Amino acid sequence: MGKYYQAEFETMPRDEMKKLQSERLVNTVARVYENVPYYRELMDKKGVKPKDIKSIDDLSLLPFISKDDLRDAYPYGMLAVPLADAVRIQSTSGTTGRRVVAFYTQNDVDLWDECCARAIVAVGGTKEDVVHVSYGYGLFTGGPGLNGGSHKVGSLTIPMSSGNTERQIQFMVDLESTILCCTPSYAAYLAETVHEMGLRDKIKLKAGIFGAEAWSEEMRHHIEDRLGIKAYDIYGLTEISGPGVSFECEEQTGMHINEDHFIAEIINPITGEVLPDGEKGELVFTSISKEAFPLLRYRTRDICVLSREKCSCGRTLVKMAKPMGRSDDMLIIRGVNVFPSQIETVLIGCGFEANYQLVVDRVNYSDTLEVKVEMTPAMFSDEIRKLEGLDNQVEAKLKSMLGIQANVTLVAPKSITRSEGKAVRVIDNRGGKL
C-alpha cells in the first residue's frame, strides 16, 4: 500500500484529473436530470440542459443547492436511484428544523470508506495499526466513516463510539491503540483524563485524525503535546458523504480534497460569484461519483480557502485550509464578525486549555460577549496576586484579535461541561432582544 491508499487518484496529473472530473460530471448531470424531478425543475428554471455541460469548465452554469433544498425534498425527493438500491442512510446532527437524510448505495459506502482509508494511510496507518474510533456511531457519519476506512486499510478497528471516557482509556492502554479518531474537543478531554489517570506513559498512540468541528492550530499543538502524537485534520459533511471529503497529509498544512469524487469551488457567499484559488469564501461541492444522493454545487456554508501549491507529500489533489467554522457559527457582535476559533487561538496562546464557553447577550440595545474560560489546575493553585490582571491581559489580546471588547471570566477547573462529540461553545441569549 505504501504512502498512498490509491496512488493512481491521489497523485494523478492535473490534466488527467480534469478529464476524469469532466467525464464524471457530465454523467452525473445527465443522470440527475433524468432521475430527479427536483433537479430537472431547478435546471429548467435556470435554462440549462444536460447537453450544455461538456466539461468542468461549464460547472458554473448549474444551479446551486442549499440545505433548504434538501429540507424541501425530505425525505426521498433527491434520491437518484430506486429506493431498493439504497442500503444505508446517515443524517446530520442538526437539532433544529427537519433533519437532512443522505442515502448510500453499496458502491457509495465503498467509495466513502476508500476516502477514509486514504486519510488513515496519509497519517501513516497500515494493517499493523490499531485504530480507536471514538467518533459517535449511528446517524452521525463520524463513527461509520472512519470504521469503514480502517477496515479497508486492514487495521484492527476498535468501534468505541464516544463517551465512557475512562473505559476508552483503559482499552487504549490494554489494546495498544495507535491511531485515535474523534473530535478535537473530545481528544482534548481524553488527553486531560489520561493525565489525571496517570497513564500518559502507558499510551501507545502515534497519530490522531480529528475533525467534524472547527479547531485552531493552537489546539492542534496542545493535543499533540499532551498525548505525544501528531494530530491531523479531516473534513467532511453528511450531505456529501461524511468524513473523508478531504484529509490532511504529513505536511499538516491543509486538507487534500478527494477530487476524483468531489469538485470544489469557492464562491462569494453573497453574490454567488466563483472566486479564484487563494481567495476566501464559501466552499461549494459537486459530488461526481455518488449513485444514490449526488449533489450539484452544494453550498456548505463553510468559509475557507483553496490552494493548488505543490505539496511535498506528492499528492496532486487541491488543498483546503482549515475552515474557520460555518458561516452560521459566525457571531456578529456589535457588527463585527467573530469566529469562536479565533477566540480559541487567543485563549490557548495565553496558557489556557480549550475549555471555554462564549455567552452572547444584548444589554441596553448593545451586544455583549462574555468569554468564560477555565483556569488550569496550576493557575488555580497560584497566588491570587498572579491571577490578578490575567483576565485583563486576555481581554487586551482579544481586543487586538477581534477588534471588540469582551469580558473575560476565569472559572474554576472542571466547571465547564466537557464535550464527547461536537463541542457547544456558544450560548447566544440575544434571540428577539432589541
Stretch that binds ligand DLL, among 232-240, 350-358, 364-372, 399-407 (CB under 6 A): 232-240
- Indicate whether 236 belongs to the interface with ligand DLL (CB under 6 A): yes
Cell numbers 499533540 correspond to what residue?
224
Q: What is the DSSP letter of 319?
A: E
Question: 121 and 4 in contact (C-beta within 8 Å)?
Answer: yes
Q: Which residue is nearest to ligand DLL (CB)?
A: 211
**177-205: b or e for each residue (b if 16 or more CB lie within 10 Å)?**
bbbbbbbbbbbbbbbbebeeeeeeeebeb
> Left (φ > 0), alpha (ψ -120 to 50) or beta: where does 297 sit?
left
Indicate which single residue of 158, 180, 237, 358 sits in contact with ligand DLL (rule: CB under 6 A): 237
Q: Contact with ligand DLL (CB under 6 A): which of 177, 300, 355, 419?
A: 300
Name the one range near ligand DLL by CB under 6 A: 44-52, 80-88, 236-244, 352-360: 236-244
Any contact of residue 71 with ligand DLL (CB under 6 A)? no
Q: Of the two residues 222 and 394, which places its CB atom closer to ligand DLL in the complex?
A: 222
Q: How many helices (H) and strands (E) does the chain have?
A: 13, 20
CB of 431 to ligand DLL, least distance (A): 22
User: SS3 sequence, 43-93?
Assistant: HHHHCCCHHHCCCHHHHHHCCCECHHHHHHCCCCCCCCCCHHHCCEEEECC
Out of 81, 179, 180, 212, which residue is the one contacting ligand DLL (CB under 6 A)? 212
What CA–CA distance (Å, rounded) separates 387 from 57? 58
**213 binds ligand DLL per the rule CB under 6 A:** yes
# residues contacting ligand DLL (CB under 6 A): 22
Between residues 101 and 227, which has the closer beta carbon with respect to ligand DLL? 101
- Using CB under 6 A as the binding rule, whether residue 136 contacts ligand DLL is answered as no
* Minimum distance, C-beta of residue 145 to ligand DLL, in the bound complex (Å): 6
Stretch that binds ligand DLL, among 163-171, 233-241, 262-270, 396-404 (CB under 6 A): 233-241
Q: How far is the CB of 275 from ligand DLL (least distance, A)?
A: 18
304 versus 394: smaller Cβ distance to ligand DLL: 304
Residue 170 or 337: which CB sits closer to ligand DLL?
337
Q: Is 233 in the site for ligand DLL (CB under 6 A)?
A: yes
Residue 323 touches ligand DLL, criterion: CB under 6 A: yes
Bridge partners, residue 367, by sequence: 362
Nearer to ligand DLL, 29 or 117 (CB): 117
234 binds ligand DLL (CB under 6 A): yes
Q: How many angstroms separate the CA atoms of 329 and 426, rounded?
A: 9
Q: Is 243 in the site for ligand DLL (CB under 6 A)?
A: yes
Task: Decide: is 92 part of the binding site for ligand DLL (CB under 6 A).
Answer: yes
The rounded radius of gyration (Å) of the Cα atoms in the chain is 22
Cell of 388: 490578578
Residue with cell 456578529: 332
Tell whether residue 260 is a contact of ligand DLL (CB under 6 A). no
- Tell me how far apart the alpha carbons of residues 175 and 173 are, in angstroms, rounded to a whole number: 6
Instruction: Give the position of cell 472512519.
Output: 146
* CA nearest neighbour of 101 among 112, 86, 114: 86
| Residues of this chain that bind ligand DLL (CB under 6 A) | 92-93, 135, 141-142, 211-214, 233-238, 242-243, 300, 302, 322-323, 326
